[in-house]
Amino acid sequence: MQAPPSPPPTEKKKQGAGGKITRKEKKDLRILVRMSEGCRPEEDPVELSRFRDYIPPEAKPLVQKITKTKTGVALWPFRGLRSGLALQKQLPVIAAHWNKERIDDRLELPVRRYSYVVENLTQKLIAAMGKGEIRASSGVNPVLAIRRSKVVEGVTTYHAVIHFDKKPQPFSVFGHRARLVEGGAGTKHQK
């Protein structure tokens, strides 16, 4: 009797707490460039390649490709942890060289954020909601809380989008359950 084949290397799994098998998360090793609203590039590869001119000569060999993101562009390293860390180590050098030409752009490392939405709030509740209330309910300091409203068939509904650096335990605000948004702002810079 033969042993079952091992999973392919791209599907590395690890034993999590409670015996659950979870997929291993990859570290995002890109450098993200946030650009002002009017200066964001198109999806055209030729236009994206012109951003190589803003990278210093010593860091150009570390950048495999440049892709468009919602807020600007991403500088991708070659495969492997070593090359990714080498690119991230060059961030101050790249930022100094980049900002000589494009002053308003911000270069930063991707950050994993956990986004939650609290729906069906009244105008009174949305006005009373602050970071202190969110911290008391979730047990974690929020990075950002955005209040929004939308009108559907003449009825205005309010909701809040809350971003955290650490994943909080399930929580509710003013009796309204907060729902985790999968692939939300956490992926705004990292999927």
pLDDT reported for residue 52: 92
pLDDT digits (tens, 9 = 90+) for 53-82: 999 999 999 999 999 988 889 999 999 889
Residue ranges covered by each domain of the chain: 31-108, 114-188
pLDDT reported for residue 2: 57
Is the Cβ–Cβ distance between 146 and 81 less than 8 Å?
Answer: no
What average pLDDT does the structure give for the chain?
82
Highest mean pLDDT pick, 12-16, 59-63, 108-112: 59-63
Alpha helices (H) in 72-187, listed in sequence order: 81-89, 91-101, 123-128, 131-138
What is the C-alpha to C-alpha distance for residues 191 and 178, in angstroms, rounded to an integer? Answer: 21
pLDDT reported for residue 165: 87
Residue 71's nearest CA partner among 115, 28, 31 is 31
| Cβ within 8 Å of residue 78, ≥6 positions away | 62, 64, 84
Give the pairing type, strands 155-164 and 142-152. Answer: antiparallel
Mean pLDDT (whole number) for 147-175: 86
Tell me the whole-structure pTM to 2 decimals.
0.61
